[in-house]
Structures are given as structure tokens and as C-alpha cells.
Amino acid sequence: MARRTTDWPSVRAREPAQRDRERHTTAGDWGLLLIRLAFGLFLAAHGSQKLFGFFGGPGLTATGKGFADLGYHPGKLFAVIGGLSELLGGLGLLVGLLTPLAAAAVVGVMINAMVTVTAAHGFWDEDGGVEYNVAICVVALGLAALGPGRLAVDRLFRWGDGGWPEAAVALGLGGIGAAIALSL
């Protein structure tokens, strides 16, 4: 006996429209790509400033000294961790690859930045506050929750659609990583 729901015209009429949407990118997909490109490039560039001195950055030795001055010991090791978190997290967001993990890397490094540097200066970025770091965290978590869109490598994987579990992974791993770094 055939299932009755497949016999209804309204159900059959929706099926081609759904298949059509699944084959074509939407304005939302392009919007997510734009967000990923901007934030991914900015974060990757920021990480390469720390690690390699690109784009007028201080490079690893000076960044390591700065991390040591903040109480991270050994400073150079934490500079590598922070720089790689920004570089690889940014690149992951950029191409939409392992988006929940890329978001976790970004969230972790931003929590550390907030706790050790910007929180003492209040909220507004112009005063050196947490505004910018919070915005980056929100974008990273939003991308984990929404998914990177169809114009991403993650479209091939189950987590590519985003959701609560993906956002929880990003926040949870980012928070745990930040807590470990802050406790050492």
C-alpha cells in the first residue's frame, strides 16, 4: 500500500521546488561567504602578523615577549598558539572548512585577549576595550550555528549545515582552550 502523503498534490508540488533550492545558491549563501571572507582574511592576516611579521606585524620574537609580559610562560610558545589559532581559525572560516573547530579556535583566542588585555579597558574599542573581541566571537559562533553556507568546503560534511551542536562545540572547545591557557 502506498503512503498517502505522497499522493497529495501539495506534497508533490513542493518536491521540485525543494530540489531546485538545494541545487542553487541563495543570497544567504553569498552573504555567509562575504562574512567568512572578510573575517577569515582579517583573522588569518592578524595571525600572520604575530607569527611571521607580515603586514607590519611584530613577528614571533616580539609577540612572544608581549605574551610573556602578559604572564604567559613561555611567551614564545603561547605566541605560536595564539598566532596559529588566528591564522588557522581564520583560514578555516575563510574557506568554510571544519567551521565549528575554526570558530572554536577564534573564540578561544578572543576570550584570552579579552581576559588578559581588553577587559581592563571597558567595553568600547576606542578605549582599548572588549568590543572588537566580542564582535569576532559573535561572528564565529554565528557561523558555527548557521553553518558556512553552500559555498564552503563543509557543505560536503554533516556539520556543514550548522546548528546548536556545532555552536556548542565552538563555544565549548573555545572556552575550554581559553581556560587551559589562562590557568597555565
Give me the pLDDT at residue 15, please. Answer: 57
Give me the pLDDT at residue 90, please. Answer: 98
- The mean per-residue pLDDT over the stretch 23-49 comes to 95
Give me the pLDDT at residue 22, please. Answer: 63
Check pLDDT > 80 for residue 14. no
Closest CA to 78 of 130, 113, 43: 113
Give me the pLDDT at residue 84, please. Answer: 98
Give me the pLDDT at residue 160, please. Answer: 85
pLDDT tier for residue 126 given thresholds of 50, 70 and 90: very high
pLDDT digits (tens, 9 = 90+) for 143-181: 999 999 999 999 988 778 899 999 999 999 999 999 999
Q: What is the mean pLDDT of the chain?
A: 91
pTM of the model: 0.86
Angle between helices 27-52 and 131-146 (to 10 degrees): 130
What's the one-letter identity of residue 137? C
Q: 3-class secondary structure for the chain?
A: CCCHHHHCHHHHHHHHHHHHHHHCCCHHHHHHHHHHHHHHHHHHHHHHHHHHCHHHCCHHHHHHHHHHHCCCCCHHHHHHHHHHHHHHHHHHHHHCCCHHHHHHHHHHHHHHHHHHHHHHHCCCHHHCCCHHHHHHHHHHHHHHHHCCCCCCHHHHCHHHHCCHHHHHHHHHHHHHHHHHHHHC
